[in-house]
Structure 1
Amino acid sequence: MRWHKLDRFLPGWIAGLLTVGVVGAIIGLCVIFGGLYDTRASTPHAPIVAWAVHTTMIHSTARLADASRTPKPVTPEALLAGAREYHRHCLACHGGPGMARAPWASAMLPTPPFLIDAPARWSHAELYTIIHDGVKMTAMPAWGEIDSDDQVANVVAFVEALPRLTPEQFGKLQTQAARP
């Protein structure tokens, strides 16, 4: 008797799901091809879009990070090598202790974060993944595409050292890093 009732409602449910799917596809196509979504970097994302993209990035990074990756020993040479890479690739967007990022970086959406608290928010493996593989739709490049694994590891070591650096120490390292 139960299956008999289900047989009567099943075609209606399937028709309803198909209708919702078709209407959703039409709305999606109107948004995409009608230019209905504001893609200007001068206007913030809708809160739900910002939340969805950021939450997706957090969970994707956690899933893709290789937890077996162990931190590279931080020697003065590795720290200076990381400072050089940071100076070349990261300083303009992320700044550092006592050093502002480039003014144009504040016009990016999302705005690149300051990295002083990054080691408290991200594990070593997650930082490596973010720096090595980049982050879509944020202008964070995949530095692993042009830098060696050792260079990426040096940047990770430097970023992990940032919270312990005073503005004076950071400035001194950046001055040394700017030299050829």
Structure 2
Amino acid sequence: MIAGCILGLSICVLIAAVAFGLLLSGVGFRTGANQPHSKLFAWAVHRTMLNSVRRHARADAPRLKPDRSTLLDGMRLYERRCIACHGGPGIARAQWASAMLPTPPYLVGASARWSHAELYTLVHDGVKMTGMPAWGEISSPEEIAKIVALVEAMPKMTPDQFEALRREAAARSP
């Protein structure tokens, strides 16, 4: 009985070691961005990201009043750091961003899917294995709050309003 358990455990360890070896050797996992992840892997990584953001969302995330000044500052930052990957109302993301895996999401409806604290955490901490940088490493909490204020305001903006805000922000840039 004990010998059978030891044999079974040994076989499981051997199978795990072979699978791990295949993974590390590149046979079991392709790192090229031109190959989509398997559905199971994509689901597992996405589920992990969702749970991590929800668990680590910053309850003390600064919230700014979405007045014109805040939105203009947020737009200047969004224009420099975000729009190429995430687009905006009536604005497609850059063509090269569509070649990223996973493809960066459009953020127009992000505030319906994420709380304020979760959006702040996503921008501040970034997301591993996606190309989303941790802007909190180089930005002040206020700058991140301004980007989040803009993202939260986007669902209420028409493409024309968004474009007008972009033009005004560009005209006022130092």
- 1:110-159 Cα distance to aligned partner (Å, 9 max, x none): 11000011001000000000000000000000011111110000000100
Counterparts of 2:2 and 2:62, CA distance in 1: 54
Q: Between the two proteins, what is the percent identity of the paired residues?
A: 52
Partner of 1:128: 120
TM-score between the two structures when normalised by the length of structure 2:
0.92
Partner of 1:59: 51
Helix, strand or coil at the partner of 2:12: helix
Counterparts of 2:139 and 2:150, CA distance in 1: 15
Pairwise CA distance, 1:36: 3.2
Which sections of structure 2, spanning at least 5 residues, go unmatched? none
TM-score between the two structures when normalised by the length of structure 1:
0.89
Alignment length (residue pairs): 172
Partner of 1:89: 81
Shift of the 93–13 alpha-carbon distance from structure 1 to 2, 3 Å rule, reads same
- Look at both structures and tell me which one has the larger radius of gyration over its CA atoms: 1
Shift of the 32–98 alpha-carbon distance from structure 1 to 2, 3 Å rule, reads same
Helix, strand or coil at the partner of 2:163: helix
Pairwise CA distance, 1:26: 2.2
Partner of 1:167: 159
Superposed counterparts of 1:43-82, under 5 Å: 43-69=35-61, 71-82=63-74
Moved over 4 A (4+): none
Pairwise CA distance, 1:42: 1.2
Counterparts of 1:93 and 1:108, CA distance in 2: 9
Which sections of structure 1, spanning at least 5 residues, go unmatched? 1-8
Superposed counterparts of 1:1-180, under 5 Å: 9-10=1-2, 12-69=4-61, 71-179=63-171, 180=173
Helix, strand or coil at the partner of 2:15: helix
Counterparts of 1:44 and 1:33, CA distance in 2: 19
